[in-house]
Amino acid sequence: MSAPIIEVRKLGKRRGGRWVVDGVSFVVGGGEVVALVGPNGAGKSTILAVVAGALAPDRGWVTIAGVSSGRRRQLGYVPEAADPPGHLTGGELLALAGGLRGAPPLGDAIRARLGVDTLAAHRIDRMSLGQRRRVCLAAAVVGDPPALVLDEPDNGLDADGLDALVELIDAATGRGAAVLVATHDPAVRARLRARELLLATP
């Protein structure tokens, strides 16, 4: 494994008066895919949301590429629901991601592979789950961030979309990015050549 990109130390998060994540530590190196694996209630989505900066930890800390604050610009995040603001079009979401990261537009090859050009003028709240997933994946990789955090990224994708997802992650790790993912499908984890991190229910 190369130098750590994502570092999680003694992470804890409370919800509803109980610890849903308690004392979790791990690292994801550049060029590596790590998959969180565990039963429902083990805290996979919560960990991903904390790593992405969408939730604040109650204890412990997270760094992305050595940065502990303002880290959202350091990563691309696709939550399980893939539900960005519905009034945006696909093209507007990509433009927003580029603006937040100070990045140039997404390359033509990736846009074509994910099929997002046909969705550029469509409102997100009128897309199917698979279409939203494709647009959100495209937004996540704008600017080639050093880390990707993907929650059930295969959910809603057809066979071609799944192939595109694998190619996208392969390209990201090939340029040295760290990828943290949760998926219930062991076949997807195998295709991603993911190192599995088994979580127990707190």
Q: What confidence tens digit (pLDDT) does each residue in 1-46 have?
A: 578 999 999 999 998 889 999 999 999 999 999 999 999 889 999 9
Q: Is the pLDDT of residue 100 over 90?
A: no
Q: What confidence score (pLDDT) does residue 94 get?
A: 95
SS3 5: strand
Q: Quote the radius of gyration of the chain (alpha carbons, Å).
A: 16
Q: For the chain, how are helix, strand and coil distributed in percent, rounded to 5?
A: 35, 30, 35
Bridge partners (DSSP) of residue 63 are 7
Q: What confidence score (pLDDT) does residue 74 get?
A: 79
Grade residue 69 by pLDDT with cuts at 50, 70 and 90: low
How far is Cα 126 from Cα 128, in angstroms, rounded to an integer? 7
Q: What's the mean pLDDT in 67-92?
A: 86
Q: Is the pLDDT of residue 70 over 70?
A: no
What are the helix (H) ranges across the chain? 44-52, 90-101, 108-114, 129-140, 159-174, 186-191
* pLDDT single digits (tens) 47-64: 999 999 999 999 999 999
* pLDDT single digits (tens) 111-158: 999 999 999 999 999 999 999 999 999 999 999 999 999 999 999 999
Q: What's the mean pLDDT in 77-93?
A: 94
* pLDDT single digits (tens) 143-155: 999 999 999 999 9
What are the structural domains of the chain?
4-198 (3.40.50.300)
Which pTM was predicted?
Answer: 0.93
